[in-house]
């Protein structure tokens, strides 16, 4: 019996090469990726109303954005709407300006 345990332990991985570790990390990331959801016209209209109201009252917003298969969150006040580039400029708590494309928005809400 002891001999069988020793034989099985021989094949267990004692260390992971950096290449294997990176491959495992990439595989794990791929499992958690999502497809870009399609929004209904009603949802888009609701987002437009929420953003317009927040801009007129200078209120912060919480954005959920599609970012290459993942959901990223940005919070702050919309300071400019660029209709040509189809993006918002949102200033966050740290004073940084975030550029948010219209097409990347998944959800908008007031905190």
Residue 7 and residue 51 in one domain? no
Residue 3 confidence (pLDDT) above 70: no
Residue 102 and residue 51 in one domain? yes
Q: Can you give the CATH number for the domain in which 90 is found? A: 2.30.30.100
Q: Where are the alpha helices (DSSP H) in 11-40?
A: 18-32
Band (pLDDT 50/70/90 cuts) for residue 10 is low
Residue 12 and residue 47 in one domain? no
Domain span including residue 97: 41-109
Is the overall model pTM greater than 0.85, yes or no?
Answer: no
Among 72, 27, 78, 71, residue whose Cα is nearest residue 50: 78
B/e letters for 38-69, b = 16+ CB within 10 Å, e = fewer, are eeeeeeeeebeebbeebbeeeeebebebbeee
Residue 81 and residue 102 in one domain? yes
How many structural domains does the chain have? 2
Residue 47: phi and psi, rounded to 5, are -60, -45
């Amino acid at each position: 019996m002891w001999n069988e345990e020793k034989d099985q332990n021989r094949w267990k991985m004692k260390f992971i090469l950096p290449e294997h570790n990176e491959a495992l990390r990439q595989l794990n990331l791929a499992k958690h990726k999502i497809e870009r959801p399609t929004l209904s016209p009603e949802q888009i209209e609701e987002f437009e109303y929420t953003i317009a109201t927040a801009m007129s009252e200078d209120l912060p917003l919480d954005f959920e954005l599609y970012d290459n298969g993942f959901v990223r969150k940005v919070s702050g006040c919309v300071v400019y709407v660029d209709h040509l580039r189809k993006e918002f400029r949102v200033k966050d708590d740290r004073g940084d300006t975030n550029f948010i494309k219209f097409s990347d928005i998944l959800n908008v809400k007031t905190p």
